[in-house]
Amino acid sequence: MTTLIWASFALTETGQPVQTDYALCVEGNRITAAGSYADLRARYPEATQVGGHDFFMLPAMTNSHDHGRGLGTLPLGVPDDLLEIWLPGLYSQPGIDRYLLARYEGQLLLRAGVGTTAHSHNPRDWLNMGVEAEATIRGYREAGIRVAFHPPITDQNPLIYAERERFLAGLPSTLQEAAQRFLRPTPLTQQDYFTLCEQLFQQHHDATDHTVHIQVSPAGGQWCSDEVTLAAVDWAKRHNTRIQMHMLETGYQRIYAFKRWGKSFIAHLAEIGVLGPWLTLAHMVWIDATDLPLLAEHGVGVAHNPSSNLRLRSGVAPLPALLEHGIHVGVGLDGQALDDDQDYLRELRLAWTLANRPGADSPTISADLVLQMGTRDGCAITLGSDVPLGRLTPGALADLVLLDWPGVQGVWSSPETPPLDLLLRRASRQQVKHVLVNGEWVVRDGQSTRIDEAEVMSAIRADLKRYDPALLAQSGAAAKALGPYLRRFYATWETDTAPARHFIAA
Ligand SMILES: [Zn+2]
């Protein structure tokens, strides 16, 4: 059966002009033909037609770094703060059923035009991560979204990055026990971790249609020994899959690296053989100018998280410098969108706006380039550059979005207005009408075709009733009480081991 999908405007591939009155043919889960609407209609008179004059067609987008938080963290009692102070609060959140969360998150992202998401798992119970992973993958697949799933591993520096004794010495005796609980190592051994990755890989990794990829994730530079990070590299290479890590999200992480090795994190990872085209690094706010050529030379991908970096007070990543060096960048919501709504188009808008810096000598970052991060390059750093997604050309997997174009145009827009500028400045999830993933309409008229949103919301509310608010408040109290001491610890951390950060030209 052939479906002919058409629109008055189409971004088939970034770097190419926007097409007008353009159509695609889809058979099964692939795009089989593309061209003018008039041509394709004549060639495929029997095809079912979807689309029309009122649509802008673009590839479904890739959310390159996230955690499948579903409800976010703020409504669960963890307000935004400096990352290091915010993180302990996560442990006191209710452990909502993972299957429900993934169903909710999956349809939320699809209705925002996202066809693929990267899920960096935050385990509720490290020793039960296999069960949590199965439930999460099942939920996403039922929603109809592609997922790159990365179970995490950490084996050092919980709570604080170094100088544990100095931190403990600054705590009152009433908080010593609470601090010790946060300082306990995670109970998952390296061997059990890779056994779990192996099981998930055998069960779920789909190298044909790319509905699920299983990847590995030493969770962050400061939280993982070289030994575990190198083992992850080895595992990913042997399984022809990828690694995703949090990296240089905050200035304190950069200082940690200089204290530990007398050089930047990236220089250290290059030296021990971690950098390569298999690696995606999320955040990358606090890179040094000397890191840029290393990242480019090794083909490392970067997941840019502009909202999260603002909300958790990490800063603004030097996106123009990364792009100038030809580094492949994707964009991820990290569960912390500016409006706490997982609106991916708005996240791209923020990335675009922050990237165009003051000064006549600053480069201009085009709407096309930002959309490339949301589509082709985002896919390359999330699923791999050999996966045919992020473009609407024959042979590619059939993942696309039809946007309500009059809704984007508003009262009137001049024919002189570049359509991609208009799209990126104005479009949000409200204009996402129809979404096709893997050849199936998973969103029609702005609604999931697979998940009853009201039903999953009420199931989540019912699940939350299992938790006694008083007990949750009690477990959150320890994290809250440690906050001022963590703040003081970092505020008084000697930072002169790290060189003044080279200014990275905007
Ligand atoms: Zn993250």
The model's pLDDT over 116-142, given as tens digits with 9 standing for 90+, comes to 999 999 999 999 999 999 999 999 999
Q: How far is the CA of 246 from the centre of ligand 1 (A)?
A: 6
Q: How far is the CA of 406 from the centre of ligand 1 (A)?
A: 35
What mean pLDDT do residues 94-103 have?
95
Phi first, then psi: give them for residue 266, nearest 5 degrees. Answer: -65, -40
- For the stretch 244-292, pLDDT in tens is 999 999 999 999 999 999 999 999 999 999 999 999 999 999 999 999 9
Q: How far is the CA of 345 from the centre of ligand 1 (A)?
A: 19
Q: Are 65 and 118 in contact (CB under 8 A)?
A: yes
Q: Are 374 and 331 in contact (CB under 8 A)?
A: yes
- For the stretch 153-170, pLDDT in tens is 999 999 999 889 999 999
What mean pLDDT do residues 444-468 have?
95
Q: Are 246 and 219 in contact (CB under 8 A)?
A: yes
Q: Are 170 and 485 in contact (CB under 8 A)?
A: yes
Q: How far is the CA of 65 from the centre of ligand 1 (A)?
A: 6
What mean pLDDT do residues 290-301 have?
98
Q: How far is the CA of 68 from the centre of ligand 1 (A)?
A: 10
Please tell me the predicted confidence (pLDDT) of residue 162.
87
Please tell me the predicted confidence (pLDDT) of residue 229.
98
Q: How far is the CA of 412 from the centre of ligand 1 (A)?
A: 39
Closest C-alpha to 330, from 58, 31, 51, 62: 62
- For the stretch 410-428, pLDDT in tens is 999 999 999 999 999 999 9
What mean pLDDT do residues 185-192 have?
95
Q: How far is the CA of 479 from the centre of ligand 1 (A)?
A: 19
Q: How far is the CA of 243 from the centre of ligand 1 (A)?
A: 14
Any residues with CB less than 8 A from the CB of 24 and at least 6 apart, and which?
Answer: 4, 5, 6, 31, 33, 34, 40, 57, 392, 398, 400
Neighbours of ion ligand 1 (CB under 5 A): 334
| Statement: residue 345 has pLDDT above 90 | yes
Please tell me the predicted confidence (pLDDT) of residue 136.
98
Round to whole Å and give the CA distance between 82 and 442: 37
Round to whole Å and give the CA distance between 27 and 24: 10
Q: What is the DSSP string of 42-96?
A: HH-TTSEEEEEEEEEEEEPEEEEEE---SS-SGGGT-----HHHHGGGGGGS---
- For the stretch 5-30, pLDDT in tens is 999 999 999 999 999 999 999 999 99
What mean pLDDT do residues 475-494 have?
92
Q: Are 371 and 412 in contact (CB under 8 A)?
A: no
Q: How far is the CA of 305 from the centre of ligand 1 (A)?
A: 8
Supply the DSSP symbol for 446: T
Q: Is 247 exposed, middle or buried (0-12, 13-18, 19+ CB in 10 A)?
A: buried
Q: How far is the CA of 238 from the centre of ligand 1 (A)?
A: 25
Round to whole Å and give the CA distance between 61 and 11: 12
Q: Is 445 exposed, middle or buried (0-12, 13-18, 19+ CB in 10 A)?
A: exposed
What mean pLDDT do residues 303-331 have?
97
Q: How far is the CA of 336 from the centre of ligand 1 (A)?
A: 9
Please tell me the predicted confidence (pLDDT) of residue 503.
57
Q: How far is the CA of 59 from the centre of ligand 1 (A)?
A: 24
| Statement: residue 442 has pLDDT above 80 | yes
Q: How far is the CA of 167 from the centre of ligand 1 (A)?
A: 25
Q: How far is the CA of 245 from the centre of ligand 1 (A)?
A: 9
Q: Report the C-alpha dihedral over residues 247, 248, 250, 252, rounded to 10 degrees.
A: 110
- For the stretch 47-74, pLDDT in tens is 999 999 999 999 999 999 999 999 999 9
Q: What ranges make up the beta strands (E) of 198-316?
A: 212-214, 217-218, 243-247, 279-283, 301-304
Q: How many CB atoms lie within 10 A of CB 505?
A: 14
Q: How many CB atoms lie within 10 A of CB 46?
A: 7
Q: How far is the CA of 56 from the centre of ligand 1 (A)?
A: 31
Please tell me the predicted confidence (pLDDT) of residue 501.
74
- At residue 494 the predicted structure's pLDDT band, cuts being 50, 70 and 90, is confident
- At residue 506 the predicted structure's pLDDT band, cuts being 50, 70 and 90, is very low
Q: Is 42 exposed, middle or buried (0-12, 13-18, 19+ CB in 10 A)?
A: exposed
What mean pLDDT do residues 387-399 have?
98
Closest C-alpha to 431, from 401, 458, 397: 401
Please tell me the predicted confidence (pLDDT) of residue 92.
83
Residue % of the chain over a pLDDT of 90: 92
Q: Is 503 exposed, middle or buried (0-12, 13-18, 19+ CB in 10 A)?
A: exposed
Predicted structure pTM score = 0.97
Q: How far is the CA of 459 from the centre of ligand 1 (A)?
A: 26
Any residues with CB less than 8 A from the CB of 442 and at least 6 apart, and which?
Answer: 110, 143, 144, 145, 435, 436, 448, 449, 450
C-alpha R_g of the chain: 23
Mean of per-residue pLDDT scores for the chain = 96
Please tell me the predicted confidence (pLDDT) of residue 288.
95
Q: Is 360 exposed, middle or buried (0-12, 13-18, 19+ CB in 10 A)?
A: exposed
Q: How far is the CA of 226 from the centre of ligand 1 (A)?
A: 20
What mean pLDDT do residues 86-106 have?
93
Sheet strand arrangement including 2-10: 30-36, 19-27, 2-10, 48-59, 400-404, 432-437, 440-444, 447-448
- For the stretch 223-251, pLDDT in tens is 999 999 999 999 999 999 999 999 999 99
| Statement: residue 505 has pLDDT above 60 | no
Round to whole Å and give the CA distance between 305 and 335: 10
Q: How far is the CA of 165 from the centre of ligand 1 (A)?
A: 28
